[in-house]
Structure 1
Amino acid sequence: MGMVFTARRLSGEDLATVLADPDAVGTLFDGGPHELDLDKAWHGLHYLLNGTTYEVRGDAGPAIIGGDPIGPDLGMGPARLLMPDAVRAVAAGLDAVDDATLRARFDPATMSEAEIYPHIWDDGEDEFDNYLLPNFTALRDFYRDAAASGDAVLLAVT
Protein backbone atom coordinates (compact mmCIF):
# COMPACT_ATOMS: atom_id res chain seq x y z
CA MET A 1 0.00 0.00 0.00
CA GLY A 2 2.77 2.48 0.83
CA MET A 3 2.61 5.89 2.47
CA VAL A 4 -0.53 7.84 1.57
CA PHE A 5 -1.65 11.33 2.53
CA THR A 6 -5.08 12.28 3.83
CA ALA A 7 -6.31 15.65 5.03
CA ARG A 8 -9.57 16.35 6.82
CA ARG A 9 -11.34 19.64 7.35
CA LEU A 10 -12.40 20.25 10.94
CA SER A 11 -15.42 22.37 11.79
CA GLY A 12 -15.35 24.32 15.04
CA GLU A 13 -17.12 21.41 16.75
CA ASP A 14 -14.65 18.83 15.37
CA LEU A 15 -11.72 21.04 16.36
CA ALA A 16 -13.05 21.33 19.92
CA THR A 17 -13.35 17.53 20.05
CA VAL A 18 -9.75 17.03 18.89
CA LEU A 19 -8.37 19.61 21.29
CA ALA A 20 -10.28 18.10 24.22
CA ASP A 21 -9.38 14.51 23.29
CA PRO A 22 -6.42 14.16 20.90
CA ASP A 23 -6.91 10.39 20.82
CA ALA A 24 -10.10 11.06 18.81
CA VAL A 25 -7.98 12.15 15.83
CA GLY A 26 -7.81 8.66 14.35
CA THR A 27 -11.58 8.27 14.34
CA LEU A 28 -12.10 11.41 12.25
CA PHE A 29 -10.47 10.06 9.08
CA ASP A 30 -13.50 8.29 7.66
CA GLY A 31 -13.33 8.99 3.93
CA GLY A 32 -16.16 11.50 4.16
CA PRO A 33 -16.86 14.56 2.04
CA HIS A 34 -14.53 16.80 4.06
CA GLU A 35 -11.45 14.72 3.29
CA LEU A 36 -8.75 14.91 0.66
CA ASP A 37 -6.77 11.85 -0.40
CA LEU A 38 -3.57 12.63 -2.32
CA ASP A 39 -2.48 9.00 -2.35
CA LYS A 40 1.30 8.93 -2.84
CA ALA A 41 1.57 12.31 -4.60
CA TRP A 42 2.08 14.03 -1.24
CA HIS A 43 5.88 13.97 -1.18
CA GLY A 44 6.26 15.15 -4.78
CA LEU A 45 3.88 18.02 -4.09
CA HIS A 46 5.65 18.91 -0.87
CA TYR A 47 8.94 19.00 -2.75
CA LEU A 48 7.53 21.21 -5.51
CA LEU A 49 6.00 23.62 -2.98
CA ASN A 50 9.02 23.81 -0.66
CA GLY A 51 12.08 22.88 -2.73
CA THR A 52 13.16 20.53 0.07
CA THR A 53 12.61 16.94 1.07
CA TYR A 54 10.97 17.61 4.45
CA GLU A 55 11.47 21.25 5.46
CA VAL A 56 8.48 23.59 5.44
CA ARG A 57 8.98 26.99 3.76
CA GLY A 58 6.68 29.85 2.84
CA ASP A 59 2.92 30.21 3.07
CA ALA A 60 2.08 27.16 0.93
CA GLY A 61 4.80 25.07 2.59
CA PRO A 62 2.72 23.66 5.47
CA ALA A 63 0.04 22.27 3.11
CA ILE A 64 1.29 18.68 3.36
CA ILE A 65 3.42 18.18 6.48
CA GLY A 66 2.97 21.43 8.38
CA GLY A 67 1.09 22.07 11.58
CA ASP A 68 1.57 20.70 15.06
CA PRO A 69 1.59 16.99 15.94
CA ILE A 70 -1.57 15.82 17.69
CA GLY A 71 -2.95 12.48 18.78
CA PRO A 72 -1.62 8.94 18.51
CA ASP A 73 0.70 7.53 15.87
CA LEU A 74 -1.38 6.79 12.77
CA GLY A 75 1.29 4.79 11.00
CA MET A 76 3.88 7.40 10.01
CA GLY A 77 3.66 9.45 13.18
CA PRO A 78 0.79 11.47 14.62
CA ALA A 79 -1.57 13.61 12.58
CA ARG A 80 -0.69 17.28 12.28
CA LEU A 81 -3.10 20.12 13.01
CA LEU A 82 -3.35 23.44 11.20
CA MET A 83 -5.53 25.99 12.98
CA PRO A 84 -7.93 28.17 10.93
CA ASP A 85 -5.50 31.12 10.63
CA ALA A 86 -2.80 28.79 9.30
CA VAL A 87 -5.31 27.23 6.88
CA ARG A 88 -6.09 30.68 5.47
CA ALA A 89 -2.38 31.40 5.04
CA VAL A 90 -1.81 28.07 3.28
CA ALA A 91 -4.82 28.66 1.00
CA ALA A 92 -3.44 32.08 0.02
CA GLY A 93 0.02 30.57 -0.52
CA LEU A 94 -1.38 27.84 -2.76
CA ASP A 95 -3.38 30.39 -4.74
CA ALA A 96 -0.13 32.25 -5.42
CA VAL A 97 1.38 29.16 -7.10
CA ASP A 98 0.21 28.73 -10.67
CA ASP A 99 0.51 25.62 -12.79
CA ALA A 100 3.40 27.04 -14.83
CA THR A 101 5.42 27.80 -11.68
CA LEU A 102 4.83 24.30 -10.37
CA ARG A 103 5.80 22.79 -13.75
CA ALA A 104 9.02 24.83 -13.79
CA ARG A 105 9.95 23.34 -10.41
CA PHE A 106 9.42 19.78 -11.64
CA ASP A 107 12.81 18.18 -12.29
CA PRO A 108 12.51 14.37 -12.45
CA ALA A 109 16.24 13.72 -12.15
CA THR A 110 16.63 15.97 -9.10
CA MET A 111 13.52 14.49 -7.47
CA SER A 112 14.81 10.96 -8.04
CA GLU A 113 18.21 11.89 -6.67
CA ALA A 114 16.53 13.43 -3.59
CA GLU A 115 14.59 10.17 -3.14
CA ILE A 116 11.21 11.87 -3.30
CA TYR A 117 8.54 9.26 -2.62
CA PRO A 118 7.13 7.25 -4.41
CA HIS A 119 10.28 7.07 -6.58
CA ILE A 120 8.52 7.29 -9.95
CA TRP A 121 9.91 10.56 -11.24
CA ASP A 122 12.17 9.07 -13.90
CA ASP A 123 8.98 8.32 -15.84
CA GLY A 124 9.06 12.00 -16.87
CA GLU A 125 6.51 14.66 -17.76
CA ASP A 126 3.54 12.28 -17.63
CA GLU A 127 3.99 12.08 -13.87
CA PHE A 128 3.60 15.82 -13.63
CA ASP A 129 0.62 16.18 -15.97
CA ASN A 130 -1.28 13.06 -14.96
CA TYR A 131 -0.40 12.72 -11.29
CA LEU A 132 1.06 15.79 -9.59
CA LEU A 133 -0.92 18.56 -11.30
CA PRO A 134 -4.39 17.02 -10.74
CA ASN A 135 -3.48 16.37 -7.09
CA PHE A 136 -2.17 19.92 -6.70
CA THR A 137 -5.46 21.26 -8.06
CA ALA A 138 -7.37 19.10 -5.57
CA LEU A 139 -5.10 20.30 -2.73
CA ARG A 140 -5.59 23.96 -3.66
CA ASP A 141 -9.38 23.53 -3.90
CA PHE A 142 -9.45 21.70 -0.56
CA TYR A 143 -7.64 24.54 1.21
CA ARG A 144 -9.76 27.20 -0.51
CA ASP A 145 -12.92 25.51 0.77
CA ALA A 146 -11.50 24.99 4.26
CA ALA A 147 -10.38 28.63 4.48
CA ALA A 148 -13.73 29.92 3.22
CA SER A 149 -15.50 27.90 5.93
CA GLY A 150 -13.10 28.90 8.72
CA ASP A 151 -12.09 25.27 9.25
CA ALA A 152 -8.97 23.82 10.81
CA VAL A 153 -7.24 20.95 8.96
CA LEU A 154 -5.81 17.63 10.11
CA LEU A 155 -3.01 16.15 8.01
CA ALA A 156 -1.86 12.54 8.11
CA VAL A 157 0.56 10.32 6.25
CA THR A 158 -0.33 6.72 6.95
Structure 2
Amino acid sequence: MGMIASYHRISTEQLEHLIAQPEAVEIFLYETEEVSERELDIDKAWHGIYFLLTGEGELGAADSLAGDAILGGKPLGEDLGMGPCRYLSAAGVKEIADTLKSISASSLSAQFDASAFNEAEIYPMYSEWTEADKDYLLDNYEELVRYFAEAARHEEGLLLLIQ
Protein backbone atom coordinates (compact mmCIF):
# COMPACT_ATOMS: atom_id res chain seq x y z
CA MET A 1 0.00 0.00 0.00
CA GLY A 2 2.33 2.77 1.17
CA MET A 3 1.85 6.38 2.12
CA ILE A 4 -0.38 8.42 -0.16
CA ALA A 5 -1.28 12.11 -0.02
CA SER A 6 -4.81 13.35 -0.40
CA TYR A 7 -6.39 16.78 -0.36
CA HIS A 8 -9.94 17.77 0.46
CA ARG A 9 -11.50 21.09 -0.54
CA ILE A 10 -13.54 22.54 2.30
CA SER A 11 -15.61 25.67 2.86
CA THR A 12 -14.48 28.23 5.39
CA GLU A 13 -17.53 27.42 7.51
CA GLN A 14 -16.75 23.69 7.50
CA LEU A 15 -13.11 24.39 8.33
CA GLU A 16 -14.05 26.65 11.25
CA HIS A 17 -16.33 23.89 12.56
CA LEU A 18 -13.51 21.32 12.40
CA ILE A 19 -11.04 23.67 14.08
CA ALA A 20 -13.55 24.12 16.90
CA GLN A 21 -14.24 20.37 17.06
CA PRO A 22 -11.10 18.55 15.88
CA GLU A 23 -12.51 15.20 17.02
CA ALA A 24 -14.90 15.50 14.03
CA VAL A 25 -12.11 15.45 11.43
CA GLU A 26 -12.06 11.68 10.99
CA ILE A 27 -15.85 11.51 10.64
CA PHE A 28 -15.75 14.36 8.12
CA LEU A 29 -13.05 12.69 6.01
CA TYR A 30 -14.37 9.16 6.01
CA GLU A 31 -18.12 9.42 6.45
CA THR A 32 -19.12 12.50 4.47
CA GLU A 33 -20.13 11.66 0.91
CA GLU A 34 -19.42 15.20 -0.28
CA VAL A 35 -15.74 14.82 0.61
CA SER A 36 -14.97 12.21 -2.05
CA GLU A 37 -16.31 14.52 -4.76
CA ARG A 38 -13.94 17.27 -3.65
CA GLU A 39 -10.85 15.13 -3.10
CA LEU A 40 -7.52 14.92 -4.92
CA ASP A 41 -5.24 11.93 -4.45
CA ILE A 42 -1.66 12.37 -5.64
CA ASP A 43 -0.76 8.85 -4.62
CA LYS A 44 2.88 8.33 -3.68
CA ALA A 45 4.11 11.26 -5.78
CA TRP A 46 3.99 13.64 -2.81
CA HIS A 47 7.62 13.29 -1.69
CA GLY A 48 8.97 13.46 -5.23
CA ILE A 49 6.96 16.60 -5.95
CA TYR A 50 8.17 18.11 -2.66
CA PHE A 51 11.76 17.36 -3.69
CA LEU A 52 11.28 18.91 -7.14
CA LEU A 53 9.69 22.03 -5.66
CA THR A 54 12.13 22.58 -2.79
CA GLY A 55 15.34 20.69 -3.52
CA GLU A 56 15.03 19.19 -0.04
CA GLY A 57 14.72 15.47 0.62
CA GLU A 58 14.21 15.86 4.34
CA LEU A 59 10.55 16.34 5.11
CA GLY A 60 9.73 19.77 6.42
CA ALA A 61 13.27 21.05 5.86
CA ALA A 62 12.22 23.60 3.26
CA ASP A 63 10.63 26.88 4.17
CA SER A 64 8.75 27.67 0.99
CA LEU A 65 5.21 28.23 -0.18
CA ALA A 66 5.73 25.67 -2.92
CA GLY A 67 6.74 23.07 -0.33
CA ASP A 68 3.68 24.01 1.72
CA ALA A 69 1.55 22.60 -1.08
CA ILE A 70 2.72 19.19 0.12
CA LEU A 71 3.61 19.57 3.80
CA GLY A 72 2.12 22.90 4.84
CA GLY A 73 -0.78 23.79 7.03
CA LYS A 74 -1.58 23.51 10.69
CA PRO A 75 -2.23 20.17 12.42
CA LEU A 76 -5.86 19.31 13.07
CA GLY A 77 -7.14 16.35 15.05
CA GLU A 78 -5.60 12.99 15.87
CA ASP A 79 -2.87 11.09 14.00
CA LEU A 80 -4.51 9.53 10.93
CA GLY A 81 -1.47 7.92 9.36
CA MET A 82 1.65 10.03 9.04
CA GLY A 83 0.59 12.53 11.65
CA PRO A 84 -2.65 14.43 11.93
CA CYS A 85 -4.56 15.97 9.08
CA ARG A 86 -3.35 19.50 8.30
CA TYR A 87 -5.38 22.44 7.07
CA LEU A 88 -4.83 25.51 4.97
CA SER A 89 -7.15 28.51 5.16
CA ALA A 90 -8.66 29.97 1.99
CA ALA A 91 -6.05 32.76 2.12
CA GLY A 92 -3.24 30.20 2.45
CA VAL A 93 -4.65 28.18 -0.45
CA LYS A 94 -4.71 31.28 -2.66
CA GLU A 95 -1.13 32.18 -1.77
CA ILE A 96 0.10 28.68 -2.57
CA ALA A 97 -2.02 28.51 -5.75
CA ASP A 98 -0.40 31.73 -6.98
CA THR A 99 3.05 30.31 -6.23
CA LEU A 100 2.36 27.00 -7.98
CA LYS A 101 0.97 28.83 -11.01
CA SER A 102 4.42 30.37 -11.49
CA ILE A 103 6.21 26.98 -11.47
CA SER A 104 5.69 25.15 -14.74
CA ALA A 105 5.77 21.40 -15.12
CA SER A 106 8.38 21.86 -17.86
CA SER A 107 10.71 23.68 -15.44
CA LEU A 108 10.33 20.81 -12.96
CA SER A 109 10.90 18.33 -15.78
CA ALA A 110 14.23 19.99 -16.54
CA GLN A 111 15.23 19.60 -12.87
CA PHE A 112 14.38 15.91 -12.65
CA ASP A 113 17.47 13.80 -11.94
CA ALA A 114 16.77 10.18 -11.01
CA SER A 115 20.18 9.72 -9.40
CA ALA A 116 19.58 12.76 -7.15
CA PHE A 117 16.22 11.27 -6.11
CA ASN A 118 17.91 7.99 -5.24
CA GLU A 119 20.75 9.69 -3.39
CA ALA A 120 18.26 11.75 -1.35
CA GLU A 121 16.22 8.58 -0.64
CA ILE A 122 12.98 10.08 -1.91
CA TYR A 123 9.93 7.97 -1.10
CA PRO A 124 8.81 5.44 -2.26
CA MET A 125 11.92 3.45 -1.53
CA TYR A 126 10.80 0.10 -2.97
CA SER A 127 12.80 0.68 -6.13
CA GLU A 128 15.24 3.03 -7.73
CA TRP A 129 13.89 6.14 -9.42
CA THR A 130 14.34 6.14 -13.19
CA GLU A 131 13.74 8.63 -15.99
CA ALA A 132 10.42 6.85 -16.64
CA ASP A 133 9.13 8.06 -13.25
CA LYS A 134 9.29 11.71 -14.30
CA ASP A 135 5.92 11.63 -16.09
CA TYR A 136 4.24 10.16 -13.00
CA LEU A 137 5.48 13.08 -10.89
CA LEU A 138 4.69 15.76 -13.46
CA ASP A 139 1.18 14.44 -14.13
CA ASN A 140 0.43 14.52 -10.41
CA TYR A 141 2.01 17.97 -10.09
CA GLU A 142 -0.21 19.36 -12.86
CA GLU A 143 -3.28 17.92 -11.11
CA LEU A 144 -2.14 19.53 -7.87
CA VAL A 145 -1.74 22.94 -9.54
CA ARG A 146 -5.23 22.70 -11.07
CA TYR A 147 -6.71 21.58 -7.76
CA PHE A 148 -5.19 24.46 -5.78
CA ALA A 149 -6.34 26.92 -8.46
CA GLU A 150 -9.89 25.55 -8.28
CA ALA A 151 -9.94 25.78 -4.48
CA ALA A 152 -8.58 29.34 -4.64
CA ARG A 153 -11.18 30.31 -7.25
CA HIS A 154 -13.94 29.12 -4.91
CA GLU A 155 -12.24 30.69 -1.84
CA GLU A 156 -11.98 27.31 -0.13
CA GLY A 157 -9.59 25.93 2.43
CA LEU A 158 -7.93 22.53 2.14
CA LEU A 159 -7.37 19.54 4.37
CA LEU A 160 -4.11 17.70 3.61
CA LEU A 161 -3.52 14.15 4.68
CA ILE A 162 -0.68 11.67 4.23
CA GLN A 163 -1.54 8.17 5.32
What does 1:120-131 align with in structure 2 at a 5 Å threshold?
Answer: 122-129=128-135, 131=136
CA distance in 2, matches of 1:121, 1:136: 21
Q: Find runs of 4+ consecutive structure 1 residues off by over 6 angstroms.
A: none
CA distance in 2, matches of 1:68, 1:56: 16
Tell whether 2:7 aligns with 1:15: no
CA distance in 1, matches of 2:62, 2:76: 18
Given that 2:3 and 2:44 are in contact with CA atoms closer than 8 Å, whether structure 1 keeps it comes out as yes
Report what 2:37 is aligned to: 33
Report what 1:139 is aligned to: 144
Q: Which of 49, 54, 71 pairs up with 2:53?
A: 49
CA distance in 1, matches of 2:133, 2:69: 20
Q: Which amino acid aligns with 1:26?
A: E
TM-score by length of 2: 0.90
CA distance in 2, matches of 1:11, 1:112: 39
Deviation (angstroms), 1:121: 7.1
Given that 2:18 and 2:24 are in contact with CA atoms closer than 8 Å, whether structure 1 keeps it comes out as yes
Bigger Cα displacement from structure 2, 115-124 vs 78-87: 115-124
Q: Which amino acid aligns with 2:156?
A: D
Question: 1:45-92: per-residue Cα shift (whole Å, max 9, x none)?
Answer: 111111112223332220011111111000111011111111011101
Q: Which of 90, 98, 107 pairs up with 1:101?
A: 107
Q: CA RMSD in A?
A: 1.5
Question: 1:91-141: per-residue Cα shift (whole Å, max 9, x none)?
Answer: 011101112211122111111111110136744222111x11110011001
CA distance in 2, matches of 1:34, 1:84: 15
* SS in structure 2 at match of 1:76: coil
Given that 1:111 and 1:121 are in contact with CA atoms closer than 8 Å, whether structure 2 keeps it comes out as no
Unaligned ranges ≥5, structure 1: none
Report what 1:59 is aligned to: 65
